[in-house]
Amino acid sequence: MSLILNFAIGFIAAFVGVIPPGFLNMSAAKISMAEGRKKGLLFSIGVCVTVIIQTYVALLFARYLDKHPEVVDTLQKMALGIFICITIYFFFIAKDTRRAVPKEINKSKTSRFFSGMFLGALNLLPLPYWVYISITFAGFGWFTFTQPELWAAVVASGLGTFVMLGLYVQFFKKKENQERQRVNMNYIIGAITTVISIITAFKIFSYF
């Protein structure tokens, strides 16, 4: 059961939050539109390889923190402040993503796979994200750090990331003739961080 829970948490968490908006998502979409869906998926696979590595490193660190609850309490309070700031940013400050997607993109001479790995490595958000997610769910007894379960979450994070990127690749491939997106992605991200903030606040104040 714990193996299934770890896999489910890893997949869902990666799907909804491991990729920062407007960076890797839109890069995959633009590559797909300019060079074809196969190149877009190849780029996505490269990103997923990096995400898997980052997730593994983050979960090893989280396993250490899980054995030191006094450190976890401080980090959770810091995380609450950070997620509240992120929520405010995406709801009120970030630029509207419902803009035309550029039809032209400079074609890289390097492999899109390695390009995906490189851009994925520049994104360091998965490291604190996975530390927070794993520690939080471990506190509820839904996440464990034993080796088989840890690897289940790691593999699931790669799969969730690939599915998310694949949807962007496919969506913009079909919608390439439309000038604007119908949904402002900032609101979706803001909603996600709002839920995370509420969960964090509940966990912090439940101790009082």
Token output for 93: 């400050």
Between the alpha carbon of residue 157 and those of residues 10, 38, 53, 59, 198, the distances in Å are: 5, 21, 10, 11, 23
Say what the pTM is. Answer: 0.72
Q: Would you give per-residue pLDDT tens digits along the chain (208 residues)?
A: 889 999 999 999 998 775 655 578 888 888 888 888 899 999 999 999 999 999 999 999 988 887 877 776 777 777 777 778 877 876 777 655 555 444 444 555 458 899 999 988 887 778 888 888 888 888 788 899 998 999 999 999 999 999 989 988 887 655 554 444 555 556 766 777 787 778 777 766 765 5
